[in-house]
Structure 1
Amino acid sequence: MQKTANTTIIENENTLLLSPTGSGKTLAFLLPIFQKLNQENKQIQALIITPTRELTLQIEQVWRKMKTNFKVNVAHGGHAKSIEKHNFISPPALLIGTPEPAIIFCNHREAVERTHWELKQKGIDSVFYHGGMEQDDRELALIKFRNQSAHFLVTTDLAARGLDIPSVKHIIHYHLPNKEED
């Protein structure tokens, strides 16, 4: 796995690795990243985005076991902002992170679905939620968002009425609300 992946990653900007658990995928992508890092560059040189905090921590652990002498930081929800700011006083060569969940508001159902599919095409996990959906589908979307299977909930103002999702720290208004109170 490592040998094949190394060649592919070095030659290509984007690479998708598919293989069973325990086959060496983590090392397969970390080794070529390590080869590309420059000790003279004091900025972030590589970014790894993961879907879960656990995977972020696992990748960090493998990197530290490699004893590369390149600084690594993880960024995920659950730390105080002061800790994250302190970690960037001297930027790491490698940053591994998990995006915090966000709600994206659109004014129309069609815009909700279109925005959701645009995110999906870019490999960004999202679900959509609006009044035109069956109740079971709306509930499933909320379950996926709450358990962070999807990091973005694309919705109409329906989600502004009574939903309580404590993990959400970011709200994005893709369209401006129609009324001030919305």
Structure 2
Amino acid sequence: MKKKIGILGGTFDPPHIGHLIIANEVLHHEKLDEIWFMPNQEPPHKIKTGTVSNENRLQMLQLAVQDHKQFHVQPIELSRKGKSYTYETMKILSESYPDLLFHFIIGADMVEYLPKWYKIEELIKMVQFISVNRPTYKNDTEYPIRYVEVPAINISSNLIRSRLKKGESIQYLVKDEVKSYIEENGLYET
């Protein structure tokens, strides 16, 4: 039987408790073997807003997942230049790991964009999409997507960056190790 791997992509700028809760809920609900957190280089649907290096994002993500034996970091997209298209990444991963079954985790906010995803028809044959609920978004789609209800936690990396710029607390929004890393490296201060 093939191992089932969930892929949770994102900018993780910085990684926060919401990311970990989503991963844990999907892991157990879908009976996956592992979750791979995949920081992306340049998502096609977002304007680049981050202020820290890929190395910092990667280090924070490793700190965030280090105490969960089924959570791992997959840095494949950070070594590629330009926009990160899920189809291209999943093609590489599927060819590199033919003995694994991949599940791609998205928020309900991304479900409505699926028709616009690069090579979506080929992609849905490669991976099982799993959508998690997000406030004010619906999971309506024609695509074969599984749904997982997760606790509604309205935390975003943008909120954390904003709080840090204002000198406000991010306690309990990120893991303590991530908070310490941010403070020690003076990240998000400007």
TM-score normalized by the length of structure 1: 0.28
Rg comparison, structure with higher value? 1
Tell which has more relative contact order, 1 or 2 (C-alpha 8 A, sep 6+).
Answer: 2
TM-score, reference length from structure 2: 0.28
